[in-house]
Structure 1
């Protein structure tokens, strides 16, 4: 089944890219979501509509969980569910940056089985199917095997670097960088360009699902901030933070967290 779904996700991602790039980020109509949930643009909604139509037509028995679709409990009774972020990194899209991504995944009984992260303006398509490895533009990728945290670069937002999040109120030494899209951060770690990524806040499943499988199929691991396995299609679609990367770096970071 993962191999059956992956070509569908790849085709859908390319279509999403064509829809999104038909809008000009800085001039696309935008709104601010309620409760400080961030911006949404007409491009997000157009991509969501295209993906919903394309994917549900192809797999009418699959459930649906998307950032831009009002959630309901129907998906909880379905064996397989699409988990979608139409544009991950909407602020970057609005700013005219090229680091936003489409994130599309399939979960089966809570486990991600097929996934795509696509950055149309960077011409980078990351893909994975469970048990079949991960690729970037069709070429195999492998997560970093770096064992020394001090020699690692971690993708992380500045708030997570504060001492209060770490044992002895002091984070371990590692280099750090940042990318605004969580899906892209996960894909970059799967590609081995960075050793790990951390987000300590509650994270929506649609930001994480595709990238988590890409890292796992690239030989790494994606866990929550306590070291527990990630489970998807939850009634509350939020995860307890994410620590992901090459297995040695991931284990060292989780051990160092308060």
Structure 2
């Protein structure tokens, strides 16, 4: 079933890309969501509508969790759930930056079974299934085996503030990409050594990418080295730390406990 679901998600992600590209750099309408939750465009909503219609028709017994659908607690009573971000990196999408993605995952008992992350502008399709490996455009991907000194670490600037780290910020090279899903996939691909976000993270941003990184050989946890579990009643986890095992261990040792970015 994970391999069948993996193909389903990849096909759906490509269809999402066709819809989103029709709006990209075409002045889509934008509104700000309540409570500072960020912008949403008509492209986000159009992609979400297609995915919800087609994926739920294909797997009617699966629950549904999406950034752009009002949450329904009924998902907590299902065996498996779709966890979807129609466009991860909406701000990048609005700005005309190519680094936004469709992030699609299927979860069972808190664990991600299948995943697809697709960047339509770059035509990059990352997929994974539990114990089935991770690929980029059908070619296997593997994380780097970097140590701490000089490692390239993806994250927003607040994560590297000295107060988050024992002894100050470690000697890493700091990089950034808007999409959390893409950051996890870049680690899986071996283009960067690790990624970190100390803020509570919405499940739809990270579920798919977390499996892709893990299947490529990364260790993926929160900052306290606790495994990530999904389909929570409140669909957030306590940040994400993803890197090859050696670098991951160094980062956990360096991080101050229970820190969080504003």
RMSD across aligned positions (CA)? 0.8
TM-score normalised per structure 1: 0.98
User: CA offsets, 1:104-150, max 9 Å, x none?
Assistant: 0000111000000000000100000111100000000001111x211
- Measured in 1, the distance between the counterparts of 2:212 and 2:135 equals 8
Distance (Å, rounded) in 2 between the aligned partners of 1:60 and 1:54: 10
**What SS does structure 2 have at the residue aligned with 1:27?**
coil
SS of 2:22 mapped into structure 1: coil
**1:159 match: secondary structure:** helix
Indicate the residue corresponding to 2:163 in structure 1: 164
Deviation at 1:79, TM superposition (A): 0.7
SS of the equivalent of 2:149 reads helix
Count of matched residue positions in the alignment of Structure 1 and Structure 2 = 256
Which residue pairs with 1:194 in the alignment? 192
Question: Does structure 2 retain, via aligned residues, the 8 Å contact 1:13–1:116?
Answer: yes
**Structure 1 residue runs without a partner (length 5+):** none
Q: Secondary structure at the match of 2:11?
A: helix
What is the 5 A alignment of 1:98-117?
98-117=98-117
State the TM-score, normalizing by the size of structure 2: 0.96
Q: Is the 8 A contact 1:225 1:242 kept in 2?
A: yes
Question: What is the aligned partner in structure 2 of residue 24 from structure 1?
Answer: 24
Q: Who is 1:225 aligned against? A: 223
* 1:26 positional shift: 5.7
Q: Offset of 1:151 from its aligned partner?
A: 2.7
| d(CA) in 1 for partners of 2:24, 2:160 | 34
Show structure 2 runs of 5+ residues with no match. 257-262
* Preserved contact between residue 111 and residue 232 of structure 1 (Cα < 8 Å): yes
CA deviation profile, 1:177-224 (whole Å, cap 9, x unmatched): 100100000000000111100000000000000000001110111101
Show structure 1 runs of 4+ deviating over 4 A: none
